[in-house]
């Protein structure tokens, strides 16, 4: 949000009548199946009420300070050389402990594959609404689905974005004809390549934890994958809403491809830091599940996406987690536990954790729910 813009909160409250029927408005929006893109295409000049953040949130927003800090950037070139690999592992460890976020460059995925993926997602969202509606669904088990706001009826304010979700939670592969034709080839190529990158990152993260390179891989921390192609249309009043609310990710690891529009921010030292787009880079962030099994050695940081007058903004988030079926049990890794560092979390299954995520607003983290509260271990870390 533009901190220099003063908001007249009394005027905002006056514009939000008490007799507003939010449930009716949410249903009307959902029944269009046209998403936020449909609202923008209708020519609106004001943000509809369902997207306006509550006044207390908007007031709190003014407390956040601007910062010149930058998210760490890690160059993966030379990863096969011992000295360079040690340097990379050290950088990954520092970024994962202090930020929970970093960018990677020279990661091996060609620029044409990255551009092709973003272009395909943009084309999907910008095609005729009737074509997109064929993929509209709320069924979490459906492999490919289109929609807007998974927590529409649980959130305090809807987010200014639409999503194409490709889920490989219960299957290792997806058939080409299951994907939208307009982005089929580019999606298959990107999914294959980013999955290989995830395997490399898990090796680096394992070593950064002082474990053998194959440790997290052997735990099947990347077995299940979900990819979400987000589309953030231009917003006429970006100061009143968000592209994506503050949240942490219910995964072990997230790899994000974003275009050059910008808007992603990570909460670091009580400041929102812009994750500035860097051409050819990918954003990597630690998810809740990795914070749990690392016993708080790595952190899953709150992050969000601002709404923007410019746009559209397009991004593709790849979420890597453990197998949902059968329910593999995870908990703090025994090699990271000692008398000095007792376990801080209960055991969980990936399916259980993800189900709880979808049962609450996305801005409510699940970490506290799984944190052990015996023996004085609870903190507000």
6 or 363, which is more confident: 363
Tell whether 375 is covered by a domain. no
- CB under 8 A, 24+ apart: contacts of 56-61: 57/156, 57/157, 58/7, 58/9, 58/12, 58/239, 58/240, 59/9, 61/1
CATH number reported for the structural domain that contains residue 223 in this entry: 2.60.120.330
In a domain, 254, yes or no: yes
pLDDT at 327: 79
Q: Is 257 inside any structural domain?
A: yes
377 falls within a domain: no
> With contact defined as beta carbons under 8 Å apart, do 233 and 41 qualify?
no
Q: Please state, rounded to an integer, the average pLDDT across all residues of the chain.
A: 91
Mean pLDDT of 67-93: 95
- Whether residue 4 is contained in a domain is answered as no
Is 381 inside a domain boundary? Answer: no
Is the pLDDT confidence value at 381 over 70? no
Closest CA to 347 of 365, 329, 367: 329
Q: How far apart are CA 138 and CA 185, in angstroms?
A: 25
pLDDT digit string, tens, across residues 21-56: 999 999 999 999 999 999 999 999 999 999 999 999
Q: Is residue 378 part of a domain?
A: no
> Is the model's pLDDT at 81 over the cut of 80?
yes
Residue 361 has pLDDT above 60, yes or no: yes
d(CA 381, CA 133): 43
Contacts 24+ apart (CB under 8 A), 187-190: 187/117, 187/120, 187/227, 189/113, 189/116, 189/117, 190/109, 190/113, 190/114, 190/116, 190/117, 190/257, 190/316
Task: Please give the structure tokens belonging to residue 160.
Answer: 């200014």
Residue 36 vs residues 10, 65, 160: alpha-carbon distances, Å = 27, 29, 6
Residue 230 lies in a domain: yes
The pLDDT value given to residue 15? 54
> Residues in the chain, how many?
381
Confidence at 373, pLDDT banded by 50, 70, 90: confident
Structural domain count of the chain: 1
Q: What is the pLDDT of residues 207-262, one digit of tens each?
A: 999 999 999 999 999 999 999 999 999 999 999 999 999 999 999 999 999 999 99
**Peptide bond before 312: cis, by omega within 30 degrees of 0?**
yes
Residues of the domain holding 357? 9-370
pLDDT at residue number 61: 84
Q: How far apart are CA 7 and CA 112, in angstroms?
A: 42
pLDDT at position 363? 85
Q: What is the pLDDT of residue 359?
A: 86
The vertex-189 CA angle with 204 and 353, nearest 5°, equals 55
Confidence at residue 17, expressed as pLDDT on a 0 to 100 scale: 57
How far apart, in whole angstroms, are the C-alpha atoms of residue 279 and residue 258? 9
């Amino acid at each position: 949000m533009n901190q220099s813009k003063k908001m007249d909160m009394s005027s905002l409250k006056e514009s939000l009548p008490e007799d507003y029927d939010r449930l009716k408005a949410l249903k009307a929006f959902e029944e269009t199946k046209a998403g936020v893109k449909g609202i923008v295409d209708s020519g609106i000049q004001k943000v509809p009420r369902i997207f306006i953040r509550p006044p207390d949130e908007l007031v709190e927003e003014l407390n956040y300070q601007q910062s010149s800090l930058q998210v760490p950037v890690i160059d993966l070139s030379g990863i096969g050389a011992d000295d360079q690999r040690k340097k990379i592992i050290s950088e990954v460890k520092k970024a994962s402990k202090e930020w929970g976020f970093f960018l990677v460059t020279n990661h091996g995925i060609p620029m044409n594959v990255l551009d092709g993926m973003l272009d395909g997602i943009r084309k999907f969202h910008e095609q005729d609404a009737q074509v997109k509606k064929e993929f509209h669904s709320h069924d979490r088990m459906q492999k490919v689905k289109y929609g807007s706001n998974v927590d529409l009826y649980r959130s305090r304010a809807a987010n200014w974005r639409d999503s194409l979700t490709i889920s490989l939670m219960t299957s290792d592969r997806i058939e080409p004809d299951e994907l939208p034709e307009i982005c089929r080839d580019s999606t298959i190529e990107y999914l294959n390549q980013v999955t290989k990158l995830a395997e490399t990152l898990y090796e680096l993260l394992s070593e950064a934890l002082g474990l053998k390179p194959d440790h997290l891989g052997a735990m099947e921390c990347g077995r299940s994958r979900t990819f979400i192609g987000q589309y953030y249309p231009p917003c006429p009043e970006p100061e009143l809403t968000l592209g994506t609310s503050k949240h942490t990710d219910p995964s072990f690891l997230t790899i994000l491809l974003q275009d050059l529009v910008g808007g992603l921010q990570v909460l670091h030292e009580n400041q929102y830091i812009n994750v500035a787009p860097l051409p050819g880079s990918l954003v990597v962030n630690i998810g809740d599940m990795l914070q749990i099994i690392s016993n708080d050695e790595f952190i899953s940081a709150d992050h969000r996406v601002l709404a923007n007058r410019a746009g559209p903004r397009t991004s593709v988030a790849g979420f890597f987690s453990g197998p949902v079926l059968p329910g593999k049990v995870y908990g703090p890794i025994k090699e990271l536990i000692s008398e000095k560092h007792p376990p801080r979390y209960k055991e969980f299954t990936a399916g259980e954790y993800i189900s709880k995520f979808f049962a609450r607003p996305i801005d409510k983290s699940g970490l506290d729910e799984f944190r052990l509260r015996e023996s004085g271990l609870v903190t507000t870390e």
